[in-house]
Structure 1
Amino acid sequence: MRRAGVIVQWALVLAALATLPLYRDELPDLGTVWTAATHADPAWLALVVLAVAGSMGAFARLQRRLLRIGGLRMSLRRAFAITYAGNALSTTLPAGPAVSVVYTFRQFRRGGASAQLATAVIVAGGVITTTAYSLIGLLALLAAPHARGPALVVLAILMTLLIPALLWPRTRALATAPIRRAYRAAIAHPKIAPHVERLADVPHSLRPTRRDWAALIALSLLNWVFDILALLSAAHAVGIGAAPDGVALAYFAAQAAGSLFPLLPGGLGAIEGSMAASLVALGAALSPAAAAVGLYRLVSYWAVVAVGWIAWIILHEGLRLPARAKALLAGSGRLLLDGLATVAYVAPYAAVHLRAQAGARRP
């Protein structure tokens, strides 16, 4: 099954490459794109790297905090390694998200977490980050003048439907009836029941305090805000003066486009095309838009995947390598992860400084 998925993935990538000559006149000039990328502002490029490191660091710290709430302390280096390795598996393998969840679960178990705690951390982390993602997306829609009206209408309709469902017992019972039936069916199934019981234990495995909730909310928001900041910085690096709300909408549109093509590794092609088109819609020329997207994806996808596979090698206990090569690789990987952890510590402060410096350079 995994081999078939790899074949399908590469077939889709090759098919997309084969169609490029058909749209030759509509594609940006590669020479102009290269010129825009190579003449990008170094301060803004540094901010791209810092923002991506801050985004990954925020998610690693989120999971580490959840483990600590559950009673398990994990080193920052190991938390970073698991986060980067899981991301590499998720964005490069067939059925990557499922593989990443299983891998992360096993790494948490090897780190001393119980099955219930490992499940709780993965589920809670997903719920918290998804909620933060939805909140930031909603705020981006409300901040954009052309999208504010439709967003308010949709929000009003949703609130009109949800409030009665939450307040009226009969409506609430009708809305939750399918969930209760599915839960009873799952509990009755001998192979599924243990997994469902672990999910049911999530609220009991994690009991965050108010201080914990504040940290979790802040980290989940920073996870997405830093990633959007990286795209905004890449746009400014090539001279695209896009507003933050417009770039945020371009970011969420690209994420939606990538989710429509789950067989493409990391949303390759779909994300880049959607981001470039969104930046053009915001008023950017095609070649600078393509350069900005290329710089952003070079750091946020390719560099992060490369670090992730290095982290996977370090964490993989059964890797067959000569002892000297393995020690050298492990030492280099630890140094890299320590550096990323340091960057994640200082990223918020360095980001503000570099952004101000870059703004001062521009007329």
Structure 2
Amino acid sequence: MQETVAVPAHPPADVAPPRPAPDGPRRDEPIPDEASADDLFLGGGSGAHAAPDAAPRPWWRRRAGLLVQVTVLLVAVAALPLYRDSLPDVGAIWGAIRHADPGWMAMVVLAVAGSMAAFARLQRRLLRIGGLRMPLRRAFAITYAGNALSTTLPAGPAVSVVYTFRQFRRGGASAKLATAVILAGGVITTTVYSAIGLVALLADRDARGPALTALAVPAVLLLLLVPLLRWPRPRALLAAPPRRAYRAALAHPRLGPYAERLAGVRDVLRPNRRDWAALITLATLNWVLDILALLASARAVGIDVDPHAAALAYFAAQAAGSVLPLLPGGLGAVEGSMAASLVAFGATLSPAAAAVGLYRLVSYWAVVAAGWIAWLGLHEGPRLPAPAKARLAGAGRLVVEGLTSTATLSPYSAVPLVMPAEARRP
């Protein structure tokens, strides 16, 4: 459920900003030492940072992503009558949803909330390792708001990274720490995601053989490398090419900021064994609980699917949404791939579509709605009269406090649900 991670390209000076006011800085106040959205990515040269003689791009190029998404959506809607006989029966889908088991549906809601809670706690733990104690409620709000930006806006993952970076800075993190947390969180969750996918493949009898065959070559190479690394000469020979590549990247005018920031992560974040155990546990919960939500959705409509089959359907849908990111949140590609996978594992089409609809209703639409409320709660809303904005912010804080209560689903008990007053400021 997490967005793609990008790296700020032109890091601002590593000077911690002044302590923010209790409500955080206003939207129109500049943040000390913070890069603009254009400065956070390579090739960002618009606005005040563009060359004086740079010609503005045509409007259709600035809105190309949105135009492509709208065109794809219109084409898909226009093509629906052509595939009417292949689509699931709407009446059967609605009947399956109406008779969904309430207990399993409650499990769907709790699992999705727990998945988001695990990722919020993972980022908060990384900030804590870097020396910053962030209130749990604020960490939840940033996670939900960033997810909403990532899954609903054109170029949403990039926007979400910039937004998360700025929110960490406003919370008191240095530029290096904010970047290190975004980078490390992405690497950890992606690594655990790959490991869970591999376990799901090995658990399936039909996929076990090809998976073991594909793993045989890297496993043999690893077994051959381990003895060589014990001797200084082979170890130096193996380490020489990566070191040369790193020095070349540092000297490159465009890759240099990336390489410098990647090297800086090790200096900013130094987790111990207990930290690693907590981070891996939280990353695992992030993915396992989301897969459990899909499994509970299938069981709610009467589909008896094995856990590894639900996991494979989940990973197939994630891959389809990544390969075809034409609509925000992988809309269309995720639902179609997930339903087709459930059918391949023995479900009938209409119940499979109902299960996917229930899962996406909670894991996408409900989470996006909560994310935009959290966005308002962080005082990032539009320019509204002060009373109206205060009421919206209060409603956002109330929702975020309710979402924060789901933290009890995680065994990560080292952080209390209510932070003491002296720990609310770095």
Normalised by the size of structure 1, how large is the TM-score? 0.90
> Percent same amino acid at aligned positions?
73
Alignment root-mean-square deviation, CA: 2.1
Superposed counterparts of 1:11-30, under 5 Å: 11-30=71-90
- In structure 1, the partner of 2:106 is 46
Contact kept? 2:373, 2:399, Cα under 8 Å: no
CA distance in 2, matches of 1:182, 1:92: 37
| Deviation, structure 1 residue 299 | 0.6
CA distance in 2, matches of 1:154, 1:171: 26
Contact kept? 1:2, 1:94, Cα under 8 Å: no
| Deviation, structure 1 residue 277 | 0.6
Q: Specify which structure has the bigger relative contact order, considering alpha-carbon pairs within 8 angstroms and separated by 6 or more residues.
A: 1
CA distance in 2, matches of 1:18, 1:171: 61
1:124 paired with 2:184, answer yes
- In structure 2, the partner of 1:248 is 311
Bigger radius of gyration among the two:
2
- 347, 353, 358: which one pairs with 1:295? 358
| Deviation, structure 1 residue 3 | 2.2
- 256, 266, 270: which one pairs with 1:207? 270
CA distance in 2, matches of 1:172, 1:126: 30
| Deviation, structure 1 residue 127 | 0.8
Q: 1:158-199, CA deviations, whole angstroms, 9 ceiling, x for partnerless residues?
A: 21244445664769957983x555533442245653443222
Moved more, 190-199 or 269-278: 190-199
Moved more, 180-189 or 10-19: 180-189
Q: 1:269-303, CA deviations, whole angstroms, 9 ceiling, x for partnerless residues?
A: 11100110111111111000000000000110111
- In structure 1, the partner of 2:164 is 104
CA distance in 2, matches of 1:117, 1:24: 52
- 212, 217, 225: which one pairs with 1:152? 212
Superposed counterparts of 1:85-96, under 5 Å: 85-96=145-156
- Equivalent residue of 1:19, what SS? helix
| Deviation, structure 1 residue 97 | 1.4
Unaligned ranges ≥5, structure 2: 1-60, 412-426
1:274 paired with 2:337, answer yes
Q: Which has the larger share of helix?
A: 1
Unaligned ranges ≥5, structure 1: 349-363
CA distance in 2, matches of 1:102, 1:337: 21
| Deviation, structure 1 residue 154 | 1.1
Superposed counterparts of 1:161-200, under 5 Å: 161-164=221-224, 168=228, 177=241, 180=243, 183-190=246-253, 192-200=255-263
Change (3 A) 1:107 1:166: farther
Normalised by the size of structure 2, how large is the TM-score? 0.77
Contact kept? 1:58, 1:222, Cα under 8 Å: yes
- In structure 2, the partner of 1:357 is none
Q: Which amino acid counterpart does residue 104 of structure 1 have in structure 2?
A: T
- In structure 2, the partner of 1:257 is 320
- In structure 1, the partner of 2:43 is none
CA distance in 2, matches of 1:136, 1:318: 38
Contact kept? 1:51, 1:347, Cα under 8 Å: no
Contact kept? 1:109, 1:115, Cα under 8 Å: yes
Contact kept? 1:164, 1:171, Cα under 8 Å: no
- 280, 295, 305: which one pairs with 2:368? 305
